[in-house]
Amino acid sequence: MTKMGALLTNMLGAFVLPSIVPAQTAKKNSQTMERNQHEYGKLNANAPQELSQFAFLVGKWRGEAKLKREDGTWENLKALWEGRYILDGYAIADEYRMTTPVDELLVLGINLRSYDAKKKAWNLKWLNALAGTWTDLGPEELGGVVADGKAISYQMKEPVTRPAFTRATYTNISADHFTWRGDRSGDGKTWEQFLVIELYRSEK
């Protein structure tokens, strides 16, 4: 079964299961959903439906990141991603942190995601908390946000570091897992993979 097929199966299961499981289990599931909506919010019915493309980020995720160092070796790191609907469900904010195995903080920041229905374009920004800098994600001049039903990707121009460009791709998206892949380029034409993050939904 494909990842998309598994996702559809999970979504269908959400509608079917309450009618066939014991009432106590259905009640527990309902309470969990209510708790998650209280903690992480929900999409506003009047918000652009395109915002739901990033809905999979809502909730808490933990996983492992593999970072390619300058000498070509790969380092294993820890990753934590936590997203929620904000501003009455009109936008998504997702915080990301990456640490060494001994919990030394390497990356800490937050993505802000909103969709301009009139322009039919995304407004995505990354705040690097450690450096105090903002980065535009997926600007129009770099191709915007590309979603093909299997993956979502966009590019960004790095404000300080080299190489000059980074391309982010979200793939293998399911109800309890997704992969974030980072590629880098000096000219925006030739790309090299340098970071892969495997995230799994977490209850803690």
Determine phi and psi for 134, rounding to 5 degrees.
Answer: -105, 145
Question: Per-residue b/e over 10-36, b at no fewer than 16 CB within 10 Å?
Answer: eeeeeeeeeeeeeeeeeeeeeeeeeeb
Distance, CA of 98 to CA of 53 (rounded, Å): 24
Contact present, 154 and 138 (Cβ < 8 Å): yes
Residue 149: what are its φ and ψ, rounded to 5°? 90, -20
Query: Where in the chain are the domains?
Result: 41-201
pLDDT in tens, the chain (204 residues): 433 333 333 333 332 323 333 444 445 444 444 546 678 999 999 999 999 999 999 999 999 999 999 899 999 999 999 999 999 999 999 999 999 999 999 999 999 999 999 999 999 999 999 999 999 999 999 999 999 989 999 999 987 666 689 999 999 999 999 999 999 999 888 999 999 999 999 987
Given this model, what pLDDT does residue 113 score? 98
- Per the CB < 8 A criterion, the answer to whether 184 and 162 are in contact is no
Indicate the fold that domain 41-201 takes in CATH. Lipocalin (2.40.128)
Question: How confident is the model at residue 33, as a pLDDT?
Answer: 45
The type of residue at 80 is L
Which tokens sit at 66?
A: 């593999």
Candidates 164, 119, 168; CA nearest to 147 is: 168
Q: Which two tokens stand for residue 25?
A: 């289990």
pTM exceeds 0.85 for this model = no
Determine the pLDDT at residue 37: 67
Instruction: Report angle CA 135, 81, 59 to the nearest 5 degrees.
Output: 120
Q: Which residue is it, tokens 């009109």?
A: 90
Report pLDDT for 36: 63
What's 167-203 look like in SS3?
A: EEEEECCCCCEEEEEEEEECCCCCCEEEEEEEEEECC
Q: What are φ and ψ of residue 196, in 5° steps?
A: -130, 125
For the purposes of burial, counting CB atoms within 10 Å of the CB of 167, is it exposed (0-12), middle (13-18) or buried (19 or more)?
buried
